[in-house]
Amino acid sequence: MPMPTPPAPLLDPALARSPRGPRAIAVRRDEAELRDTAMHRHARGQLLGARRGLITVYAGDRQWVAPPSQAVWIPPGWPHGLRSHGPYSGYSVYLSPAACAGLPSAPRALAASALLLAAVERAAAWDGDAQDAPRRRVVEVIRDEIRDQPQAAGALLLPAEARLQRLALALSDDPADTRTLAQWADWIGMAPRTLARHFLAETGLTLSAWRQRARLMRALEMLAAGAAVTTVALDLGYDNVSAFIAMFKREHGVTPGRYAPGGA
């Protein structure tokens, strides 16, 4: 069986490695297949995020599962990689080392504001390398947002331990999986108490809370795409719609109908 073709780099590796050139290079990519980019590093800082779906981002010793409402900032020289959960639709902005001055010096997940996303869209539409005043202002907006946006609330950390990470990635792929802690423990070959203790220590959440947050991320995505509340609840493994609505309102303060297009 032929080996699958690895995904094409989001940016020409020579440009990513070079500290020279434009202060910012923005790219967008929509792919029918999932993206699984191995750990690598480059001279430019990188802001990346999903336009649809969930992505897992590895940066140094930190790992996040990020929905479209969040982006991840990776300073120059930090090893990082990416994995999408399903077809990949995302963006990246590569900032020159000079443009990274004053920005966070360690990787972080941050809120992807409407202003940030609009600036990225504008930058991704540029042709050529001209750096006129309007473009410089857009780059400064992106820099300001990276520097000033708070750490993303609810960002999901992946555990570092290999077996726990395998479990977390499986839940990222399918948050509707309803296996119990004991069943997950058997699946990864770990004692249930050990799983519970180490998962909490590494992620800051119990396994059930982590799964619930992953479900919420997927629910927001599905609702924004126009899925009915009942469809979302059943697809995410809830036995009844009322339980899903109660959980959603407890976490977000409003019912899921408010997040659907045209929701009141």
Mean pLDDT throughout 179-195? 97
CATH superfamily, with its number, for domain 158-259: Homeodomain-like (1.10.10.60)
pTM above 0.85, yes or no: no
Lowest mean pLDDT among 7-11, 64-68, 198-202: 7-11
Residue type, 148: D
pLDDT score for 172: 85
Mean pLDDT throughout 103-119? 94
Structure tokens belonging to residue 254: 């409003």
Neighbours of 135 (CB within 10 A): 18
Nearest to 94 by CA among 153, 33, 36, 46: 46
Q: Is the predicted pLDDT of residue 243 greater than 80, yes or no?
A: yes
Q: Strand 24-30 to strand 156-157: parallel, antiparallel, or no bridges (unpaired)?
A: unpaired
pLDDT score for 263: 56
Q: How far is CA 98 from CA 21, 42, 74, 136, in A?
A: 11, 14, 15, 13
pLDDT score for 1: 38
Count CA within 13 A, CB hemisphere, residue 169.
18
Q: What is the domain partition of the chain in residue ranges?
A: 13-148, 158-259
Nearest to 54 by CA among 190, 209, 221: 221
Lowest mean pLDDT among 87-96, 111-120, 200-209, 217-226: 217-226
Q: Is the predicted pLDDT of residue 61 greater than 60, yes or no?
A: yes
CA–CA gap between residue 206 and residue 132 (Å, rounded): 50
Mean pLDDT throughout 199-227? 87
User: What's the CATH fold of domain 13-148?
Assistant: Jelly Rolls (2.60.120)
- Could you tell me if 210 and 199 are in contact, meaning their C-beta atoms sit under 8 angstroms apart? yes
Burial of 201 (0-12, 13-18, 19+ CB in 10 A): exposed
